[in-house]
């Protein structure tokens, strides 16, 4: 259980004479995030730290630093830029990023239940574009889920979308000892992991993220997850051994072409799955009627409390939400 006072002692402190920590705005499986004031121009930023119980973990401090590495190497506007870093007094790292305004797809779905197919197509195309950039840079996200898809709206009512939290991503450049420690462990959020992740395989590729995005699309279209169970171990076994249900069995109005794409993404065998994020983008093109209009409609669905016009700053804590198995 997380301590409600965890890292609360940092509130009010000034880091490296640049950032004054104002309040905690998220605590999750591995991290604590703060709203902070950048003292040079008095703008608000978000600062991500590790939970104290993970300070001596052999990999997590490096994973936090890897998030900044990803932000430098993955050249895509949908990847959050970490523009500074430093060390806390206990020797653990912290990262500085923009304070995002908007809400997660998970929040949106909790309010609306489902989304129209054309809007799910628009969302999936945007996420696929980000994943393509990450994959060609040598990273597999491993935790694609609605909580990590962050939606915002520009001053011109255009949709902004970020894929957050590369904290459990795999890297082609990861040291051999790190990969050895990962053997047999499940990285990601159980309901969204691919069969190969559920089996604890280390050598996975971008097709694992394609499966996760398929789960997200299934959920956004139908209002439910393709796999559920009473216990995590049973859930992982179902993902490994069972085929995903057909969307048309839940909602007969779903476009057959879109159902086919989601079914390909959710194939248990990676060889039968949609092979790349670029291939998914191409497959979605025939279904992308009035994509800009669909994106604008999505932007209008965002909670007014999360929009800059209201003056409310809301950060989706990329370390918060569902605890991971790992």
> Residue 8 has what pLDDT?
86
What pLDDT shows up at residue 4?
Answer: 61
What residues contact 4, with CB distance under 8 A and at least 6 apart? none
pLDDT of 179 reads 66
Measured distance CA(33)–CA(21) in Å, rounded: 10
Work out the average pLDDT over 223-240: 96
Q: Which of 291, 255, 246 is nearest to 128 (CA)?
A: 291
- pLDDT score at 101: 87
Percent of the chain with pLDDT over 70: 88
Tallying the residues shown for the chain, one arrives at 326
All structural domains of the chain with their residue ranges: 8-99, 103-309
At residue 96, does pLDDT exceed 70? yes
| Per-residue confidence band for 299, with pLDDT thresholds at 50, 70 and 90 | very high
Nearest-Å Rg of the Cα atoms of the chain is 19
State the pLDDT at residue 306. Answer: 58
pLDDT at res. 63: 78
In terms of C-beta distances under 8 Å and separation of at least 24 residues, what long-range contacts does 304-312 make, across chains too? Answer: 306/101, 306/102, 306/103, 306/107, 306/152, 307/101, 307/102, 307/153, 308/101, 308/153, 308/155, 312/101
Query: Is the pLDDT reported for residue 315 higher than 50?
Result: no
Q: What is the set of active-site residues?
A: 143
Look up the CATH architecture of domain 8-99.
2-Layer Sandwich (3.30)
What sign results for the dihedral spanned by CA atoms 208, 211, 217, 218?
A: negative
Q: What pTM was estimated for this model as a whole?
A: 0.88
Residue 1 pLDDT: 44
Q: Which residues have a Cβ under 8 Å from the Cβ of 241 and sit 6 or more positions away? A: none
Give mean pLDDT, residues 44-69. 83
Burial of 275 (0-12, 13-18, 19+ CB in 10 A): middle
Mean pLDDT of the chain: 87
Contact 64, 167 (CB under 8 A): yes
Which CATH number applies to 103-309?
1.10.510.10
Dihedral sign from CA coordinates of 122, 312, 28, 112? negative
How many of the other CB atoms lie within 10 Å of CB of 242?
A: 13
pLDDT at 307 over 60: no
Q: What is the distance in angstroms between the CA of the first residue and the CA of the last residue of the chain?
A: 15
């Amino acid at each position: 259980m997380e301590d409600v006072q965890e890292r609360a002692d940092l509130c009010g402190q000034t880091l490296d004479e640049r950032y004054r920590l104002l309040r905690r705005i998220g605590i999750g499986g591995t991290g604590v995030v703060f709203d902070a004031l950048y003292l040079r121009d008095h703008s608000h930023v978000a600062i991500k730290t590790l939970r104290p119980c993970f300070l001596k973990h052999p990999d997590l401090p490096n994973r936090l630093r890897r998030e900044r590495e990803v932000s430098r190497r993955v050249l895509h506007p949908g990847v959050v830029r970490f523009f500074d870093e430093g060390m806390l007094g206990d020797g653990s790292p912290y990262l500085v990023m923009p304070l995002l305004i908007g809400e997660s797809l998970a929040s949106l779905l909790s309010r609306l239940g489902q989304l129209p197919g054309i809007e799910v197509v628009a969302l999936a195309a945007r996420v696929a574009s980000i994943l393509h950039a990450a994959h060609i840079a040598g990273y597999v996200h491993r935790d694609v889920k609605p909580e990590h898809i962050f939606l915002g709206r520009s001053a011109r009512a255009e949709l902004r979308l970020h894929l957050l939290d590369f904290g459990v991503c795999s890297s082609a450049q990861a040291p051999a000892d790190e990969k050895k420690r990962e053997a047999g462990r499940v990285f990601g959020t159980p309901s969204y992991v691919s069969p190969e992740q559920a089996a604890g395989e280390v050598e996975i590729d971008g097709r694992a993220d394609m499966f996760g995005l398929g789960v997200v699309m299934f959920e956004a279209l139908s209002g439910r997850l393709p796999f559920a169970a009473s216990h995590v171990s049973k859930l992982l076994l179902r993902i490994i051994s069972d085929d995903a249900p057909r969307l048309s069995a839940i909602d007969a109005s779903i476009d057959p072409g879109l159902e086919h794409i989601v079914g390909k993404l959710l194939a248990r065998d990676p060889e039968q799955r949609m092979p790349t994020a670029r291939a998914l983008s191409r497959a979605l093109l025939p279904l992308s009627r009035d994509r800009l209009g669909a994106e604008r409609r999505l932007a209008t669905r965002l909670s007014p409390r999360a929009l800059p016009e209201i003056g409310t700053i809301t950060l989706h804590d990329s370390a918060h939400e569902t605890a991971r198995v790992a």
